[in-house]
Amino acid sequence: MGYMPQTTVADTLLRVQKQELILPAIQREYVWRPGQIIRLFDSLMRGYPIGGFLSWKVEPATAAQFRFYGFMKNYNELSNRHNPVADLAPGQPATAVLDGQQRLTSLNIGLRGSFAQRRKWGRYSDAGAYPETRLFLHAGREAEHNDDGLVYDFRFFSDAALESIDVAERPYWFPVSKIYDARTQFEAFQLASSQGLGNDEAVVERLGKLWHVVHVEPLVNMFEETEQDIERVLDIFIRVNSGGTVLSYSDLLLSIATAQWKERDAREAVHGLVDRLNAVGQGFSFSKDLVLKSGLMLTDVNDISFKVKNFTSENMAVLDDQWDRVGDSLELAVGLLSDFGLSDATLTADSVVIPIAYYLHRREATQKYREAPSETGDREAIRKWVLRSLVASGIWGSGLDSLLRDLRDVIKLHGAESFPEEELERRMAARGKSLHPTPDRVDELLSRTYGGRSTFALLAVLFPHVDTRNVHHVDHVFPAALLSRKALRSAGLDDAAVERIEAKRDQLANLQLLEGLVNIAKSDKDPESWSRTQYPDPVAHDAYRARNRLPDLPTSVHEFEEFFDARRGLLSRALGEALGVVDSQSGD
């Protein structure tokens, strides 16, 4: 390992352009934002160091075992977030960047490419909400006062934004790419002349300085690793990247899978599946770690932990061959979670999807499973188990790999025809992960509040009649607006009563699940008035109260505490029945 001769930014980007410098698949994708790119260019202009770079000289025999990617040039948050595959010729060596990808990519985008991110308030799926912007330098003055302490005024502009600039000011904005394209400093000066600013010394000086730091100053210091031992390289990579966004080991293992798959690009397949899963229903935030773990689980790899020894060519060949089915099973499982009313906002443990996907995979279930009348009971068994596991304490935390292997064994033995809810619960209890809470735990659950991630699952357990395939909101039975400190004092309540009611207002006993449109229409009416309007028929009104375990409904804030205490008692009993409370002393 040793330092390579220092070189310029322009020469380095030429190597990027020729794919002489590439990225190993172990690299994370590009994550910098425009503000970070601007600060990098400001540092260049001010003569600040931009840090060293680490590369790995990969010999042809080693290169053949891995997949490599090119640097991002035209980033688009919607349609072009993934690096292009580098097409290396057989026998071609490679120089892969291990540290410095974000900086080199930012230089490449700023000097050669573009950046497109979603416009504020723009729709996520609307391509027009992602305007293409390019980096410009105002060569006539320094940057206005700013919190980042920037001296040079670099900005990203779309064509439309540039056209909206005052006509007198517009000539001072120069596209940075033109400076990169200028072969000599004289050509850079000619840019000023073309804008009628050739006699403006400040403009000429700034353009000349930018050309000089890009084309002349040897600012790129590359340290090169030449060893071909992959374990050593992975260790170096983790260590040098630990100061930034810490990489999970799955990032590294994905590189190995990518090199070993023959039928498809593992990186594209995994990222694509992650994107599809996260677009289901109201949206989720599953990670590639979960997808890789699911792949090991569903293909029956014995040890599903993230270790290099589990990513053998044999295991990866099986995963490659079964990938479409693995993806289908995961999408079906996530679809069920969405049907249960869950989303990123309410799913407190992503790992719950893995055993569900395994069960569906074993049964070779398709999307028809979600609607088939013959599977209604099976879906309800899954729903109950999922919700109860999300409400229980510590199920999906420590010892996850061991738990997943145990659940897989149970499904293999008992899940051929129906979801083995009882057998799974017994195995979980044997591991100290019981779904049956103690009375103290029930008291704690009843104190869950509005806005908590687990509150939806808890209400869904309590009210199984709710059809969660329709969008439901967690709603205050007695509107929160009527229980504000100001409203309570206006009602003549003393400070002690105000404090008590404020503490109870957002707790479970004052919450219910209402369909979105119904909740919006409910507004801030007192519970008794609203319910009589919504259910004018006495039988229907009584049925509404019974379904939602509601005692006599209050008509004013003065009746709230009596209502709260009565409903808390009803929910306590209902929760005990739904979860199967055990005596903490006897264990029964």
Render pLDDT for 211-236 as a digit per residue (tens, 0 to 9): 999 999 999 999 888 887 766 776 67
As given in the structure block, the two tokens for residue 514 are: 């209402």
Long-range contacts of 9-14 (CB under 8 A, 24+ apart): 9/44, 9/107, 9/111, 9/213, 9/214, 9/215, 9/219, 9/220, 10/111, 10/180, 10/214, 10/215, 11/220, 12/104, 12/107, 12/220, 13/104, 13/107, 13/108, 13/111, 13/112, 13/180
* Lowest mean pLDDT across 88-92, 300-304, 413-417, 426-430: 88-92
Beta 222-225 vs 53-58: how paired, if at all?
parallel
In the block, tokens 């006699």 appear at: 199
Per residue in 1-35, is it b (16+ CB within 10 Å) or e — as a string? eeeeeeebbbebbebbeebebbbbbbbebbebebe
Whether pLDDT at 130 is above 60: yes
The distance of Cα 537 from the centroid of its chain, to the nearest Å, equals 46
pLDDT at 467: 73
HSE at residue 159, side-chain half, CA atoms within 13 A, is: 1
DSSP one-letter code for 195? T
- Which whole number is the average pLDDT over 90-112? 91
Whether pLDDT at 286 is above 90: yes
DSSP one-letter code for 571? H
Q: What digits encode the pLDDT tens for the residues 404-435?
A: 999 999 999 999 999 999 999 999 999 999 88
pLDDT at 584: 43
pLDDT at 108: 98
Give the Cα separation of 186 and 190 in Å (integer).
6
Q: What digits encode the pLDDT tens for the residues 65-77?
A: 677 889 999 999 9
Give the Cα separation of 339 and 50 in Å (integer).
50
In the block, tokens 């919006």 appear at: 520
**What's the whole-model pTM score?**
0.61
- Which whole number is the average pLDDT over 325-332? 97
**Burial, 92: exposed, middle or buried (Cβ in 10 Å; 0-12, 13-18, 19+)?**
middle
Question: Which residues, including other chains, have CB under 8 Å from residue 272's CB and lie 6 or more apart?
Answer: none
* Lowest mean pLDDT across 175-179, 325-329, 374-378, 445-449: 445-449
- Which whole number is the average pLDDT over 114-125? 90
8 A C-beta contact, residue 280 and residue 338:
yes
As given in the structure block, the two tokens for residue 414 are: 């008992």
- Which whole number is the average pLDDT over 1-16? 88
As given in the structure block, the two tokens for residue 342 are: 């869950």
Give the Cα separation of 26 and 97 in Å (integer).
10
Question: Which residues, including other chains, have CB under 8 Å from residue 403's CB and lie 6 or more apart?
Answer: 395, 396, 428, 431, 433
Give the Cα separation of 345 and 390 in Å (integer).
13
DSSP one-letter code for 217? S
Whether pLDDT at 167 is above 90: yes
Percent of the chain at pLDDT exceeding 90: 56
DSSP 319-374: HHHHHHHHHHHHHHHHHHHHHTT--TTT-S-GGGHHHHHHHHHHTT--GGGGT-GG
Q: What is the mean pLDDT of the chain?
A: 88
- Other beta carbons within 10 Å of 349: 17
Q: Which residue has the higher pLDDT, 416 or 92?
A: 416
In the block, tokens 């840090």 appear at: 51
In the block, tokens 């001072």 appear at: 172
Beta 114-116 vs 74-76: how paired, if at all?
parallel
Q: Please, which pLDDT band fits residue 586 given cuts at 50, 70 and 90?
A: very low
**Burial, 365: exposed, middle or buried (Cβ in 10 Å; 0-12, 13-18, 19+)?**
buried
Q: Which residue has the higher pLDDT, 143 or 524?
A: 143
What radius of gyration, in Å, describes the C-alpha atoms of the chain?
30
Per residue in 441-455, is it b (16+ CB within 10 Å) or e — as a string? bbeebbebeeebebb
Q: What digits encode the pLDDT tens for the residues 233-261?
A: 766 776 666 554 445 566 667 767 776 78
8 A C-beta contact, residue 27 and residue 55:
no
Torsion region of 138: left, alpha or beta (phi above 0 gives left; psi -120 to 50 gives alpha):
beta
8 A C-beta contact, residue 305 and residue 250:
no
* Lowest mean pLDDT across 18-27, 29-38, 538-547: 18-27
Whether pLDDT at 170 is above 50: yes
Q: Which helix (H) or strand (E) holds 391?
A: helix 376-391
In the block, tokens 């100061």 appear at: 243
Among candidate residues 402, 100, 82, 412, the one with its CA nearest the CA of residue 254: 82
- Which whole number is the average pLDDT over 90-108? 89
Quote the strand ranges of 206-252, DSSP E: 222-225
pLDDT at 91: 79
Query: At CA 565, angle to CA 562 and CA 566, rounded to 5?
Result: 85
Question: Which residues, including other chains, have CB under 8 Å from residue 330's CB and lie 6 or more apart?
Answer: 273, 277, 291, 294, 298, 353, 357
* Lowest mean pLDDT across 1-10, 495-504, 512-521, 527-536: 512-521
Q: Please, which pLDDT band fits residue 1 given cuts at 50, 70 and 90?
A: low
Q: What digits encode the pLDDT tens for the residues 477-523?
A: 999 889 999 999 999 999 999 999 999 999 999 998 877 555 555 66
